[in-house]
Amino acid sequence: MNNMKTEKITFGAGCFWQVEYDFKNVNGITKTAVGYMGGDEKKYPSLTYDEVCSDKTGFVEVCEVEYNPKEISFKKLLKIFWKIHDPTQLNRQGPDYGSQYKSAIFYYTLGQKKLAENSIKKEQKKHVDKIVTEIKKAGKFYKAEDYHQNYLEKRGLKTCRI
């Protein structure tokens, strides 16, 4: 019988295809899914990729990460998060721009919130520009359309970065 207790964290760090790829095969991560979070859930009870890309919904492209805290610490997940994107770019990552590409950490527990806030302070010392990463309580996760799940892996790609 498997009694593994997992936890979740949801990250926005640019195009969700790359974020999922960067987390998917890390030891201790049990599941990933790409989707949308952070906008007006009452106004948008359901959501499509095209709506998110309209830059009008307030939703962020995110990767929901389920992990086993006995195998990987939340601090380690934060280190990966900071490493895979530029947290000083407002509403963009590389060639992708729009509010759906903002840097964000959506937390599920107060412990995660506190660790995320502390990690921003540490990470800021490594950057000249101000970190613009938002830390927000996780809301409803809208799973993206099936063709977005494992997008790079399905195409035999390791990156969508230029």
Model pLDDT, residue 6? 96
Bin 57: left if φ > 0, else alpha if -120 < ψ < 50, else beta: alpha
**Tens of pLDDT, residues 35-90:** 999 999 999 999 999 999 999 999 999 999 999 999 999 999 999 999 999 999 99
Model pLDDT, residue 21? 95
Q: Which of 15, 53, 63, 160 is catalytic?
A: 15
Q: Give the torsion through C-alpha atoms of 161, 83, 132, 106, to 10 deg.
A: 100
pLDDT band of 94, cuts 50, 70, 90:
confident
Of the chain, the percentage scoring pLDDT greater than 90 comes to: 88
Model pLDDT, residue 10? 98
Give how far the C-alpha of residue 57 lies from the chain's centroid of Cα atoms, to the nearest Å: 17
Query: Whose CA is closest to 105, among 151, 129, 71, 139?
Result: 139
Q: Is 63 a catalytic residue?
A: no
Of the chain, the percentage scoring pLDDT greater than 70 comes to: 97
Q: For the chain, where are the alpha helices, taking DSSP H only? A: 16-24, 49-53, 74-83, 110-124, 151-154
Residue 2: pLDDT over 80:
no
The residue behind tokens 């407002």 is 90
The class level of CATH for 7-154 reads alpha beta
Q: Are 119 and 75 in contact (CB under 8 A)?
A: yes
Q: pTM to 2 decimals? A: 0.94
Residue 1: pLDDT over 70:
no
Residue 162: pLDDT over 90:
no
Provide the 8-state DSSP code for 105: E
Return the amino acid letter for 105: I
Provide the 8-state DSSP code for 130: P
Provide the 8-state DSSP code for 34: E
Residue 121: pLDDT over 90:
yes
Model pLDDT, residue 155? 87
Higher pLDDT, 1 or 78: 78
